[in-house]
Each structure stands twice: as structure tokens, then as C-alpha cells.
Amino acid sequence: MASPATDEGTFKTPKSVRVRSFGSNGGTPVTIPSSPFMKKLGCGTGVSVYLMDRRGKLNASPWAVKKINSKCAVKQLEVYQKRLNEEAKLLQGISHPNIVGFRAFATAKDGSKCLAMEYGGEQSLNDLIEKRREEGLKAFPAANIEKVALDVSRGLQYLHNEKKLLHGDMKSCNIVIKGDFETVKICDVGVSLLLDENMRVSDPKADYIGTEPWKPKEALDEEGDITDKADIFAFGLTLWEMMTLAMPHLEMLGDDDDEDEGETFDEEAYYERLGTRPALDAETLGSSYRKMVELFYLCTEEDPRKRPSASQIVKALESNAPLDKMPKEVIIID
């Protein structure tokens, strides 16, 4: 009988691997099961995430384990391993209720990397959007969007102001939700960039990775000035995702049932729209969405100086102040 297949190939047998890790457990040995013995939670570029059940350890809480997909080309594999190393180092120094917490970082004998993070039964916001769309539903209730807006902006405020970090890849895939929006947390800080005292990326040679549909204009320009406002633009598009159940700028893909699906994508139009504000039918949404529509418009200003900071968003939402009544000088930063 053949051994269970693994989509990473990092563990050659389905046996558990006992490794040492650094982190909250003080460097004690951690047993990381091989992929076939863990439930797959999701995947991203070069990595897969699994649920590690730890009930055998005195009913310890489960972990989400991110592992490198070794099917990648050698050069890509090195890049993803470096990112996972960086993500582990960053997460160790981060502690915030709206950011997924670090648990351990393990290295197996074959050199494969495993980053263990907190897990509380979350689903990605992207999964919830897809599920809602498949069920034929419309926009999330305004209260759910406002909860995501406040909690994510709190997490971004912490990253920007206290840790001087640009997340660098804000989108629905990198937000996890527990239950009925009981908790909202930012995840995947592997491509974060350091910010200086002026909220600009401190290393001029550093690459802004991001994900194309969520990138602001300045990140699409090789000479663009990347600041904390790049996260704000992507954050605004994430709110748009919740109101439209769509992915930014990909509406021209057409329906999956189109017979001529391959001919519906206008590549030139797509690239022209990148970094711009996608259309939103605010009238159909109704008055209960007014605040989130206004926030979306503010965050997706093409000029980054006109976008609010994470701190300003938190202040406005916590005080329940009407966004259209905010003083102009609070919105525009010189």
C-alpha cells in the first residue's frame, strides 16, 4: 500500500517528525505530524496551512501550521523559506488581539520549516465571501463589515504605529474570522516591510509584494513612494469585497458559465484599472451601509496623502463619528 501523498513533499514518510522550536514553549520539543495526518485549512503562494490537533496534550488548544510547498522550483523554494523565517521572527514580537499570534517555529531534520500559529476555529474572510456568493446572497450585513473595519484597522494601527511595520498584503485572504464575527484577526505578515518615522518604507531597495488586484498606484510604479497608506488602500478594497462579494477589478472575467469564458477577459482594461477605485452601487446597498461606503471611498483615494491613517480610522469608528463630518485636515495628511 502506497504512503499517503503530501502536496509539499517535505516529509518523505507519513510519520510524525519531532523537532525543536523557538518560541512560547521555551524551546521544548514539538511533534509536528506529517501533512496527511492534519486537516488542510487552506493554501497560499508557496505554502499550505494545516490544523494541528493538540488535544492529546492536556486538551491544549489547536495550532494552525504553515508549511512550505516543496513542489516549487528551487529558487522559489528559497524565497518562500526566507519569507517563512521572516514571518516567524516578526510574529514573535507581535502581540495584539487582532493579529494572529505566534506559537512555535520548527525545523525538521530535512530542513523543512513549520510555523505554528494560534487557531480558534477561524475561516478566512475570503472563504466566507465565496460561501456567501455561492449561496446566492448579497452584501454582508453592515454590522459585520463595520466589525471587520474596526478590528482590522486596530490591528493595522498597532503594526504601523507601535511596530513600524507595513503589512504589505492586505486582502480578504489574510483576515481570519471566528464564528459569527466574534473575533477578527490579521494574518500572514511574511511580506511586511519596515517603516521609518515618517511612515515610509525605510529600505528603498525593499520590494512591495502585495497582490495585484489590491495594489495602490504607488506600488505599481517602480518609483512609487510606499508608505503606511498602501495598507489603507488595500484595506478599503477589502471592505469593497464584503459589499460586492467580488474580487477587485476582475468583474470583466464574466460568469463561470459563459461559453466563451476565455474571450471575456480584457487584459488591457484590467491593467488600466489596477490601482484605481472599483465601482460600487451604493444606492442599492442602502442607507445602513453609508458609513462603510464613505470609508471605502476615503481609503481608496488615488493620492495616498488623502487617505486616512489607521489611527484616524480607529478614532472615527470608535467614536461613532460620521466620516463625512470629519474635519478635512484630519483626512488629508501633509
pLDDT for the residue numbered 38: 81
pLDDT score recorded for residue 59: 65
Provide the mean pLDDT of the chain.
Answer: 82
The reply to whether 110 and 163 lie within a common domain is no
Residue with the bigger pLDDT between 58 and 6: it is 58
Pairing of strands 193-194, 165-166: antiparallel
DSSP string covering 54-100: -TTTTTPPPEEEEEE-TTS-HHHHHHHHHHHHHHHHHHHT---TTBP
- Looking at the fold, whether 134 and 100 belong to one and the same domain comes out as no
pLDDT of residue 25: 47
Tell me which of 185 and 9 has the higher pLDDT. 185
Residue that wins the pLDDT comparison between 117 and 300: 300
| 216 or 103, which is more confident | 216
> With bands split at pLDDT 50, 70 and 90, how would you rate the model's confidence at 2?
very low
Instruction: State the pLDDT at residue 1.
Output: 40
Q: Which of the following is catalytic: 151, 169, 188, 231?
A: 169
- Residues 135-154: pLDDT tens digits? 999 999 999 999 999 999 99
Residues 99 and 143 reside in one and the same domain: no
The CATH number that applies at residue 97 is 3.30.200.20
Give pLDDT tens digits for 295-333.
999 999 999 999 999 999 999 999 987 676 554 444 433
Active site residue 169: yes
pLDDT of residue 126: 95
Question: Is residue 281 exposed (0-12), middle (13-18) or buried (19+ Cβ within 10 Å)?
Answer: exposed
Say how many domains are in the chain: 2
Which of 102, 118, 134 represents a domain boundary (last residue)? 118
Is the same domain home to 166 and 303?
A: yes
Each residue's pLDDT tens digit, 225-253: 999 999 999 999 999 999 999 999 987 55
Point out the domain boundary residue: 118, 145, 167. 118
Range of the domain at 183: 123-254+264-319
